Chains A and B, each alone.
Chain A
Amino acid sequence: MTTTVDSAPVVEPTVHHRLRRRPPNSVRNGRSLLMTVAGFGVTALFVLFLGVLIGIKGAAGALPVVAAITIPLAAVLWGVVRFTRTRTKLAFALAFGAALVLSVAIGVLIVLMSRLLSEPNSIFFAQLILSLPFVVAVAAAWQLARGVFWFDGTKEHQLRPEESGARPISAPLTVAATATPTALAAAAADTVTSPAHVVETGDAAVAGDVVDPGMPLLSVQGLKKHFPIYGGVLRRQIGTVYAVDGVDFDIYPGETFSLVGESGCGKTTLGRTVIQLTPSTDGRVVFDGYELADVDPDDMRPLRRRMQIIFQDPFGSLNPRMPVSDIIGEGLLSQGLSDRKARDKRVEDALELVGLRREYSRRYPHEFSGGQRQRIGVARALALGPDFIVADEPVSALDVSIQSQVLNLLLDLKRDLNLTYLFISHNLSVVQYFSDRVGVMYLGKIVEIGSVEELYKDPRHPYTVALLSAIPEADPRRRKKRLVLKGDVPSPAAPPAGCRFHTRCWLRERLGNPENCVTIEPPLVPYGDDPGHRVACHWADEISQSTVAQAEAETPAVVAAVAGDE
């Protein structure tokens, strides 16, 4: 709920900071710069030292000293950083070996030089100049290896499940384990006050009368995400894309909240910003009491386990060079489950949960059909045992018959694992079937929000009306005249002043272009008796059966003449 609206029941989520706070960005940038400089410096000094040592003592003489330093050092590094992947080990060995080889080369050159040049001063400077490129080369090789190989040195991070509320990671991921009678009872008690639960029981009238909606699982307040546009010779910032521009909504445990809108309206960006895959520009996201923008990145990890995402494109979102076991297991690995056997068990549990066979974990993505790939994407999201899943157009890329299989799967999982979904889609029929509450987005803002029953029965924003009117129904008896919007969505880099929809609004046209649509941006305010139904339109009262019918009747003439307008 917005904090700006007084009449709506405002539920201010209690924010607790048991986790370490994230330091300010300036500190974090400084820290990372310091670490880089120190890394380069230490590497360079070490190599130079070895080189000089070899130069002075000769290769044979330096050997005991070099061995005495490098072998323990390698052993310590090997132990401290618990590598689990062969390629990480390879990267490490490669960088270490390169450093040793270069050190020997430096030493040999120094010996050669001291023979060729006699004057001490020139020897010293020649040494200095010659060794510098080597130092840089070694340091660069090290950094390159770090970048090229996935080299994050997966340490066993001390997780605090009691703090983050995440499920223990080594527990088997089965329906039975999570749906124990006590857990189910607790879950039921948890959701019994939420409107989602009431809606699920099919009693729409009750949904409107809920006074205390309970504690939201996710609360988004004034969230903004702006992307800079760089241009010109100096790559200065010449503009801003207002992808998400001030969005408020709550999601309650066990419900499915959907975001609909045309492409380019910011649905996907919002979904990604909510789970902090991209940092937000402004505003708050409170997930189960944690303000996500404030949590230290290291402490985000146990929280991330509870928030997962299913991506739209089942072909682009699976790495073709990784077997399914690695694709699904990567999240488990980065959460600290380094035991291969335990991880594979979890992966197979997840596969079973989405209706795939356990043996499929050895296969590669190209061996699967689109629907199966999307199931793998779902399994990846489930492997960590999340509470909250952002489903970003999970069925748009699938054929109709496969689409219903995946929708059924998502519904089953929601029921069995007590999941909460943020469902992003442009398909209004799917949204109507699938979700409890809907938010309609237009150009980075929510223009209307409400329960599915309310919104589809009594839409109060002209954009919602147009979207609903545009759905083609698979019933030739219901052929109707459609209310066709003119033109395309304006660029989010230059949103129209006042109401963002006024450039395409059919209602404004009917009302004779009232002034306030262009000058005043309408706030998202409750409409009617249902406090959950809010709409951002100055003229929401003007929408009725007859105005919509008239607008629909006029549409074809408009199309035949000039359908588009900028």
Chain B
Amino acid sequence: MTETSTVRRGLGAPPPDDILVDVRNLRTSFKVMDGIVPAVDGISFSLGRGQTLGIVGESGSGKSVTALTIMRLLEIPPAEIGEGSEIWFDGKDVLSMSESEVRQLRGDDMAMIFQEPLTSLNPVFTVGDQIAEQVKLHKKVKEREARDRAVEMLRLVGIPSPERRAKQYPHELSGGMRQRVMIGMALSCEPKLLIADEPTTALDVTVQAQILELLKAIQQRTGAALMLITHDLGVVAEMVDNVVVMYAGQIVEQGTVEEVLIEPRMPYTMGLIESIPTVEKRGGRLSAISGVVPSPFHLPPACRFEPRCPYRWETCRTVPPELYKAGASGRTARCHLHLAEAQPRLEAAIAQHEQNMRTGRRLTGAPDRIGE
């Protein structure tokens, strides 16, 4: 990474003012011993000011790498950002910024909450110190004011007796408390963008409810945009306006949360939603997606979901699908089912999905064979 801040050539026009984050054709890969891992492979999405975007996918689908690339937290090398990738944040191109410019931005205008609060907090400093450090770095304030700000943040995130808690070390706090501290730290400089990477995965369901309510309340209060990365469709349904579904480094479906969760138009999304156990499916089989996520070294040549897809046909093996328009504006799906000639197949798939959602699959046959 060079320390120059020259605007790169061939850059597109900056996005309109109401768009806070605009990611265009982002490609991030890692050079490892066995070859190149294309972790994120040409994704584009945008997030408006004050909006909430959910990025959904299984482990290894590239959702965390996307977030880390936006924050410019990846080390280059081994990471490599492909030609033609653009990340616009608040009207500026993040990828052509110098390291010092990014450092100004990070923590101040964009902040991140990580999955494991214990490993992302420093065990040898008190939580108050850790929050104050960030405030001191970004706002020109005195030691005393920074400390007051830290206590105020802890109070904001609902930690009781914040004055005492600020003097405690991370190990003295429970998991939910630590996650609150992380949120408090992320919010301490009033960022315009908050990226939450699986903020509740390590937490119990009751504490998860606390944290989600807190995030909602704080977002309402500060007007920050929230990018929520998760594999839990329940959390997504609860929290976000728009959804991006990722699979093997690509976006496979995007739209509003109602559209994607109620009327999924891509077999992977359908499978994900069907595999959630519900009351209606009791007594039947869950319709599981067969097989496993492909290894990044041996990606299927055309459609990456093809080997696991129940609705595949010859085209899926030969022609890589694009993000086709699927319904209303901004609603896209990466599936050949949306080609005009596949119309009957799409209708059949939708009918099957709706039936699976109603009843689950009846218990029949031998257990699924995997690995074949």
Contacts and interface: CB of A to CB of B under 8 A. Distances in A.
Partners in one complex: yes
Interface of A: 200, 202, 262-263, 353-357, 360, 369, 371-372, 375, 399-405, 407-409, 411-413, 415, 426-430, 432-434, 452, 456, 466-467, 469-479, 482, 484-485, 487-488, 555-556, 559-566
10 contacts: A200-B283, A360-B371, A372-B292, A404-B275, A426-B204, A469-B209, A472-B209, A474-B233, A477-B258, A562-B155
B368 interface: yes
A409 B367 CA distance: 6
A447 B214 CA distance: 28
Given A399-B231, A401-B275, A559-B213, A470 B58 contact: no
Interface stretch (B74-82, B234-242, B310-318): B234-242
B208 A432 contact: no
B281 interface: yes
B277 interface: yes
B273 A474 contact: yes
Contact of B261 (A399, A430, A469, A475): A475
B213 A484 contact: yes
B217 A484 contact: no
A474 B59 CA distance: 19
A555 B209 CA distance: 11
The 5 closest A-B pairs by CB, nearest first: A472-B234, A433-B277, A563-B158, A404-B275, A470-B209
B341 interface: no
Interface size class, chain B: 35 or more
A467 B206 contact: yes
A485 B258 contact: no
Nearest to A406: B288
B367 A400 contact: no
Contacts, number: 186
Contacts of A478: 237
Nearest to B176: A488
Given A357-B372, A470-B206, A559-B210, A412 B367 contact: yes
Contact of B237 (A353, A372, A401, A474): A474
A485 B258 CA distance: 28
A371 B206 contact: no
A354 to B, nearest CB: 7
A566 B162 CA distance: 12
B281 A433 contact: yes
Contacts of B368: 355, 405, 408-409
Interface string B286-300: 111110110000000
Contacts of B236: 474
Given A474-B236, A474-B273, A433 B257 contact: no
Interface in B242-295: 257-258, 261-262, 271-273, 275-279, 281-283, 285-290, 292-293
A354 B369 CA distance: 8
Nearest to B58: A399
B370 A471 contact: no
Most buried by B among A427, A456, A467, A487: A487
A476 B261 contact: yes
Contacts of A263: 204
B370 to A, nearest CB: 6
A474 B367 CA distance: 26
Nearest to A261: B204
